[in-house]
Chain A
Amino acid sequence: MNIIGCLDRPTSGAYTLNGTRVEDMDDNGLAAVRNRNIGFVFQSFNLLARHTALENVELPLFYAGVVDARPAALEALKEVGLEKRVHHRPNELSGGERQRVAIARALVLNPPLILADEPTGNLDSRTGKEIMEMFKDLHSRGTTIVMVTHENDIAAHAQRIITIRDGKVLSPA
């Protein structure tokens, strides 16, 4: 997952993303790829606690050098249905709302790939379902979503399932 997310380089083997060999890139190149091509959704949300929902979503825009980040960030928050909670901080939001902020942050720069690491792991099943609906919607509009999960019913949403046990690929479907 770290290698797919360009947080790490493979020690052996090759990883080509969008035609670029990741193992040859430097730190700045990786940062740019993470910024432009990949959106992260974590199990534990990983929002900045001292910043509002809006500011959290603005973050990738700033690192992309966007001068006025606000309109795009508001747009992304509206897309995940949080337009009324933009000035709340993470600790003032429910788990589902936090994950939606994280999704808004992941999709704000329209990356072709979203990586979701157990996105529903910390949520109740109803909220988890809402999140999955959101992913489906994104997927239908052309975003590739790579998701890691332990739950078979969540995995059932995916088009392609790869089962991995103890580091070995069991069933390439």
Chain B
Amino acid sequence: MLFLQIIRTAYRGILANKMRTSLTMLGIIIGVGSIIAMLSIGEGAKMQVMESISRFGTNLLRVRPGAARLGHIRTSNVETLTIRDAETIAREVPGIRRIAPAVARSGQTKFSNKNATTMITGTTPEYIEINNFQVADGRFFDETDIKLVKRVAAIGSTVRRDLFGESPALGEEIKIQGQTFRIIAVMAEKGQSTFADPDDQIFIPISTSQRRLFYQEHINDINIQVEDASRIPAVKEGVERVLRERHRIAPDAESDFTIRDFTEMVKTWQETSRTFTVLLSGIAAVSLLVGGIGVMNIMLVSVTERTKEIGIRMAVGARRKDILSQFLIEALVITVCGGIIGIITGTSIAILLSRFGQWDTVITVWSIVLGFLFSVIVGLVFGIYPARKASLLDPIEALRYE
């Protein structure tokens, strides 16, 4: 029997029971659709992690004052970390590419009649390189500005928008905590991160922040970029040793600072998002399995109902394999049609999720191929038993069946 003819026969068999077939197909549509949607969510999460990596910068360590205690990072306002600590680390710990101490406090900014509360970061030029910030306009302050304790500022794009709207900001003077600063740079937009908006930030020389603005000797963090990932543990250890020594901490006492390893954090996220994807896809696969059982169920009913037809076909010369392929292809038509509709549905859901929901979704070609393959496999696996049953019918019994 010709392939086209089998397809036509299968098509007719399916059309004969529209309601039944569409309900069966719905199981496959939901299964394949949810697999596509879940994979796109997982893929989106992976992308987000990748983006965070590039946003944070790579091989980053951050030292903060205060001990880590059961999930709480800072226990109190510890004022132990100083620029000298950073300098000593830079001198004594090998494997560090860049190091930048920073004072970070929120402050009030004002331009003409506009007010904004934003993060004021007093630091050195290395900070922006460690943390992957780019200057969009103007120049970032340099060592001379720090030495001369200049009142200059580099503002983030969110601050620029809040204070200046569409008008130019470069060269304007703004008030920070009542003090006048000249804007010498506008930073390029970095984009929303998971924790805070890195663009809602003003950078000023660290000396200015300590002596002219916040009047504080201590610093709030030390940013360290390690030469390469393999040296992260060694550098971490070195930093710990130097700081404990400088802070005169007894060997059995807790450190009064915390070292955060961003590479490790990113790795943890990656693993979490992978687990998440596997879990969701697993649930989706189970629903596809249930859909497949539905197909098998309906095919068994169909074989019983059409016993007479099978007998007639055998009498006019159908071989067992003709009957087998007829019913197998009928099951495949159901699952593949369901699969294609499911792919379309799943893709639409993913697109809607990223447009109207909080989810970032990415649809990859391989997830579509996978969805299609699954629908074929389900058709084969759950179609073969009913089809075999049909092909093994005794022609005489089948002809006698009413």
Report the stretch among B96-104, B120-128, B291-299, B309-317 that lies at the interface: B309-317
Q: Does B278 contact A (CB under 8 A)?
A: no
Taking a contact as CB atoms under 8 Å apart, the answer to whether B317 and A60 are in contact is yes
Chain B residues near A31 (CB, 8 Å)?
A: 314, 317-320, 322
Q: Does A138 contact B (CB under 8 A)?
A: no
Taking a contact as CB atoms under 8 Å apart, the answer to whether B316 and A63 are in contact is yes
Taking a contact as CB atoms under 8 Å apart, the answer to whether A63 and B319 are in contact is yes
Q: How far is the CB of B178 from chain A (nearest CB, A)?
A: 88
Q: How far is the CA of A32 from the CA of B313 in the complex (A)?
A: 12
Closest Cβ neighbor of A46 among chain B residues: B312
Q: Mark B162-205, 1 if CB is under 8 A from A, else 0.
A: 00000000000000000000000000000000000000000000
Q: How many A-B residue contacts, CB cutoff 8 Å?
A: 64
Chain A residues near B399 (CB, 8 Å)?
A: 7, 42, 46
Taking a contact as CB atoms under 8 Å apart, the answer to whether A63 and B317 are in contact is yes
Q: How far is the CA of A51 from the CA of B322 in the complex (A)?
A: 18
Closest Cβ neighbor of B314 among chain A residues: A31
Taking a contact as CB atoms under 8 Å apart, the answer to whether A34 and B316 are in contact is yes
Chain B residues near A8 (CB, 8 Å)?
A: 395-396
Chain B residues near A140 (CB, 8 Å)?
A: none
Q: How far is the CA of A7 from the CA of B16 in the complex (A)?
A: 29
Taking a contact as CB atoms under 8 Å apart, the answer to whether B315 and A7 are in contact is yes
Most buried by A among B1, B12, B317, B320: B317
Taking a contact as CB atoms under 8 Å apart, the answer to whether A63 and B12 are in contact is no
Taking a contact as CB atoms under 8 Å apart, the answer to whether A7 and B317 are in contact is no
Contacts A50-B12, A62-B5; A5 near B317 (Cβ below 8 A): no
Q: Does A35 contact B (CB under 8 A)?
A: yes
Q: Does B2 contact A (CB under 8 A)?
A: yes
Taking a contact as CB atoms under 8 Å apart, the answer to whether A5 and B315 are in contact is yes
A63's partner among B13, B322, B395 (CB-CB below 8 A) is B322
Taking a contact as CB atoms under 8 Å apart, the answer to whether B1 and A63 are in contact is yes
Taking a contact as CB atoms under 8 Å apart, the answer to whether B315 and A40 are in contact is yes
In A145-172, the 8 Å CB interface with B consists of none
Chain B residues near A63 (CB, 8 Å)?
A: 1, 313, 316-319, 322
Q: How far is the CA of A52 from the CA of B62 in the complex (A)?
A: 79
Q: Does A93 contact B (CB under 8 A)?
A: no
Number of chain B residues whose Cβ lies closer than 8 Å to a Cβ of chain A? 23
Q: Does A105 contact B (CB under 8 A)?
A: yes
In B9-54, the 8 Å CB interface with A consists of 12-13, 16
Taking a contact as CB atoms under 8 Å apart, the answer to whether A40 and B396 are in contact is no
Chain A residues near B320 (CB, 8 Å)?
A: 27-28, 31
Most buried by A among B313, B314, B315, B396: B315
Closest Cβ neighbor of B313 among chain A residues: A59
Taking a contact as CB atoms under 8 Å apart, the answer to whether B309 and A35 are in contact is no
Q: Mark A53-83, 1 if CB is under 8 A from B, else 0.
A: 0000001101111010000000000000000
Q: How far is the CB of B402 from chain A (nearest CB, A)?
A: 9
Q: How far is the CB of A65 from chain B (nearest CB, A)?
A: 8
Taking a contact as CB atoms under 8 Å apart, the answer to whether A67 and B2 are in contact is yes
Q: Does A12 contact B (CB under 8 A)?
A: no
Most buried by B among A2, A46, A47, A67: A46
Q: How far is the CB of A100 from chain B (nearest CB, A)?
A: 16
Q: How far is the CA of A60 from the CA of B319 in the complex (A)?
A: 11
Q: Does A17 contact B (CB under 8 A)?
A: no
Taking a contact as CB atoms under 8 Å apart, the answer to whether A36 and B317 are in contact is yes
Q: Does A48 contact B (CB under 8 A)?
A: yes
Taking a contact as CB atoms under 8 Å apart, the answer to whether B309 and A48 are in contact is yes
Closest Cβ neighbor of A66 among chain B residues: B2
Taking a contact as CB atoms under 8 Å apart, the answer to whether A62 and B1 are in contact is yes
Q: How far is the CA of A51 from the CA of B309 in the complex (A)?
A: 11
Q: How far is the CA of A64 from the CA of B318 in the complex (A)?
A: 9
Chain B residues near A28 (CB, 8 Å)?
A: 319-321
Q: How far is the CA of A5 from the CA of B313 in the complex (A)?
A: 14
Q: Mark A18-46, 1 if CB is under 8 A from B, else 0.
A: 00000000011001101110001010001
Chain A residues near B316 (CB, 8 Å)?
A: 34-35, 40, 59-60, 63, 105
Q: How far is the CA of A47 from the CA of B13 in the complex (A)?
A: 15
Chain A residues near B396 (CB, 8 Å)?
A: 2, 7-8
Q: How far is the CA of A123 from the CA of B186 in the complex (A)?
A: 97
Chain A residues near B312 (CB, 8 Å)?
A: 46-48
**Can you give 26 contacting A-B residue pairs, CB < 8 Å?**
A5-B315, A7-B396, A7-B399, A8-B396, A27-B319, A28-B319, A28-B320, A31-B314, A31-B319, A32-B319, A34-B315, A36-B317, A46-B311, A46-B315, A46-B399, A47-B312, A48-B313, A50-B12, A50-B16, A59-B316, A60-B316, A60-B317, A62-B5, A63-B317, A65-B1, A65-B2
Please name 14 further chain A to chain B contacts, defined as beta carbons within 8 Å, in addition to the given A34-B314, A51-B12, A63-B313, sorted by A numbering: A7-B314, A7-B315, A7-B395, A8-B396, A28-B319, A31-B319, A40-B315, A46-B312, A48-B313, A50-B12, A63-B316, A63-B317, A63-B318, A105-B316
Give B residues with C-beta under 8 Å from A. Answer: 1-2, 5, 12-13, 16, 308-309, 311-322, 395-396, 399
The 4 A-B residue pairs with the shortest CB-CB distance in the complex, in nearest-first order: A35-B317, A63-B317, A31-B319, A60-B316
